[in-house]
């Protein structure tokens, strides 16, 4: 299914706050590790003109195609790469794109991916259980749902979905195999746990499967570790997360890299030799304003954390 770009153009979450946090300046070089449709990227290029450059990375080839169309007016100032941000240092080395003034992660699922009825990210449409950001990879949600053991499913749903009813859901999935579509899976989960509140009971299970399929948390951890090697002194790292698992990873990384010593608390003398590489700009995350949440309800769970290379 081909989705038209104009159907999904929107102001990205925390757009102005991202520009401020990155300290975007004319002639600066920036990396958008999750370029998506290019919303943040276009704002960065606009504010870094003249002379600014942006490297946009995305694992989804459809997202790269959409971003390329949106960023066409910026010509050679935009470099777009269909790759995984876990390979951040290798990408920058190949393109000789370092050091940089700022790095942005806007994590999670885009509106474009969610609205694509063939990708299987949402149970609003009946679609194959796919959920891959990269359609070239072998592992799909269908493979996990139909071949993983009950205990493996429990771990995925509990750890990645933070779902306390994971055992009941996993047992129901195994008993209902084969499950081939999103609506079939949503119905299985609903039968297992019933309906309570306004949030669909399958929401956390779908999140868990998507994270597992794309190894999102593992790849984010790897990518974050590389950022300090690419940022010039005074460069900014900005990360927007949409659920507690992502935010916890970002928070832990920033807290660790902003301290000289990371030895266990009761260690009498520092033996780690660790030196701080980042300075926290705000101890608490930046969140959307009430006006932005009203205009874009999907932004309500966003949390942005910012640090500066020292």
| Bridge partners, residue 117, by sequence | none
Is 183 buried (19+), middle (13-18) or exposed (0-12) by CB count in 10 A? middle
Domain with CATH 1.10.150.170 in the chain: 120-213
Q: Indicate the CATH number for domain 5-106+216-309.
A: 3.40.50.150
DSSP 188-211: HHHHHH---SSS-TTHHHHHHHHH
Q: What gap in Å lies between CA 69 and CA 39, rounded to an integer?
A: 12
pLDDT value for 54: 98
Residue 128: Cβ within 10 Å count: 14
205 Cβ neighbours under 8 A, 6+ residues apart: 157, 161, 163, 169, 185, 189
The two tokens of residue 256 are: 């660790």
Domain with CATH 3.40.50.150 in the chain: 5-106+216-309
The two tokens of residue 39 are: 């919303």
pLDDT value for 266: 82
pLDDT value for 75: 96
Q: What gap in Å lies between CA 291 and CA 297, rounded to an integer?
A: 10
CATH superfamily membership of 120-213: Putative methyltransferase TM0872, insert domain (1.10.150.170)
Is the separation of the CB atoms in 185 and 145 below 8 Å? yes
pLDDT value for 10: 58
Is the separation of the CB atoms in 129 and 181 below 8 Å? yes
Q: What is the pLDDT of residues 237-253, one digit of tens each?
A: 999 999 999 999 999 99
Closest by CA position to 4, among listed 61, 70, 55: 70
Q: Is the dihedral of CA 184, 189, 192, 196 positive or negative?
A: negative
Give the 3-state secondary structure of residue 137: coil
pLDDT value for 264: 85
pLDDT value for 2: 39
Whole-number Cα distances in Å, 57 to 7, 166, 268, 273, 279: 22, 34, 44, 33, 25
Give the global pTM: 0.93
The two tokens of residue 183 are: 């609506």
For the chain, 310 residues long, the average pLDDT of each consecutive 10-residue run is 46 94 98 96 98 97 95 97 98 97 92 79 92 96 98 98 97 98 97 88 96 97 98 98 96 96 85 92 95 92 97
Is the separation of the CB atoms in 37 and 67 below 8 Å? yes
pLDDT value for 223: 98
Whole-number Cα distances in Å, 70 to 8, 18, 67, 142, 210: 11, 19, 5, 33, 26
pLDDT value for 141: 98
Q: Assign residue 197 a region: left if phi > 0, alpha if psi is -120 to 50, beta otherwise?
A: left
The two tokens of residue 112 are: 């474009």
């Amino acid at each position: 299914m081909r989705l038209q770009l104009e159907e999904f153009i929107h102001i990205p979450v925390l757009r102005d706050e991202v520009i401020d946090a990155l300290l975007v300046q004319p002639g600066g070089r920036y990396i958008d590790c999750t370029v998506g449709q290019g919303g943040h990227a276009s704002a960065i290029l606009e504010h870094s003109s003249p002379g600014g450059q942006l490297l946009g990375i995305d694992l989804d080839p459809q997202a790269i195609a959409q971003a390329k169309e949106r960023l066409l007016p910026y010509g050679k100032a935009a470099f777009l790469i269909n790759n995984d941000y876990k390979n951040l240092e290798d990408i920058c080395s190949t393109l000789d794109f370092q050091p940089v003034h700022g790095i942005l992660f806007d994590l999670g699922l885009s509106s474009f991916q969610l609205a694509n009825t063939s990708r299987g990210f949402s149970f609003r449409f009946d679609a194959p259980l796919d959920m891959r950001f990269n359609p070239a990879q072998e592992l799909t949600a269908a493979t996990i749902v139909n071949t993983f053991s009950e205990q493996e499913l429990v771990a995925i749903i509990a750890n990645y979905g933070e779902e306390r009813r994971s055992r009941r859901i996993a047992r129901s999935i195994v008993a209902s195999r084969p499950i081939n579509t999103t609506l079939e899976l949503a119905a299985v989960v609903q039968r297992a746990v019933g309906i309570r509140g306004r949030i669909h009971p399958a929401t956390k299970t779908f999140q868990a499967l998507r994270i597992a399929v794309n190894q999102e948390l593992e790849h984010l951890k790897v990518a974050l570790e590389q950022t300090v090697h690419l940022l010039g002194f005074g460069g900014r790292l900005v990360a927007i997360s949409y659920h507690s698992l992502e935010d916890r990873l970002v928070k832990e990384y920033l807290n660790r890299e902003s301290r000289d010593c990371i030895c266990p608390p009761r260690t009498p003398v520092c033996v780690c030799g660790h030196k701080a590489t980042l300075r926290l700009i705000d101890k608490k995350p930046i969140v959307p304003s009430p006006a932005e949440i009203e205009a874009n309800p999907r932004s309500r769970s966003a949390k942005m954390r910012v640090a500066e290379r020292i």
